[in-house]
Amino acid sequence: MDRRVSIAARVARGLEALAIGLGLTWRAMLRPKVTVQYPVEKKNVSHRFHGLLGLPIDPETGKDRCIICFQCERVCPSRCIHIEATGKGKERVLTRFDIEMDKCQYCGFCVEVCPTEAIVFAPHYEASTYNRANLLYTLDDLHKLAPKEPIATGIVRTNGRKHR
């Protein structure tokens, strides 16, 4: 008699657990989805996302805003920025601005230190490749990567003054 009761109790406990489990499954099925079918569907990332780096073209001058101060190259802990220039003073022009993105740790130091907002993060994350050489971004690549829209640069503006 006792044995039958204990079997019935165990079956009841099993059914209760099953009902709780199915309840959770149904609730999850009816909740809005948080996943997407990548790469067919893609989510927009925050405009403050630390993706690849880019050098935006200034719409007023048609050139990038780099003043060739080398601060980003000096501050980079991964030593992955390489800048070369010719000429002196206002005649100085960039001859090389490469970033080895395979070494970049997306720390943002280069973006924060830049006095002219010449280097920014792009909200772009699809950089996977089978060939490491493809992760060397040249000046042309960095111009193309730069976002068209204004982007957060680590500098907060209040009353026209910059605060980092």
Residue 123 in the binding site for ligand SF4 (CB under 6 A): no
Residues that contact ligand SF4, how many (by CB under 6 A): 27
- Nearer to ligand SF4 (CB atom), residue 39 or residue 89: 89
- Of all helices (H) and strands (E), which one includes residue 21? helix 2-30
CA-CA distance, 153 to 109, in Å (whole number)? 10
Residues 66-95: x/- map of binding to ligand SF4 (CB under 6 A)?
Answer: xxxxxxx--xxxx-xx-x------------
Residue 104 in the binding site for ligand SF4 (CB under 6 A): yes
CB-based burial, 64-73: b 16+ in 10 Å, e otherwise: bbbebeebbb
State how beta strands 161-163 and 156-158 pair: antiparallel
Question: Positive or negative, the Cα torsion across 149, 68, 94, 110?
Answer: negative
Q: Which residues, numbered 48-67, are part of the site for ligand SF4 (CB under 6 A)?
A: 66-67
Residue 154 in the binding site for ligand SF4 (CB under 6 A): no
Q: Which residues bind ligand SF4 (CB under 6 A)?
A: 66-72, 75-78, 80-81, 83, 99, 104-110, 113-114, 116, 118-119
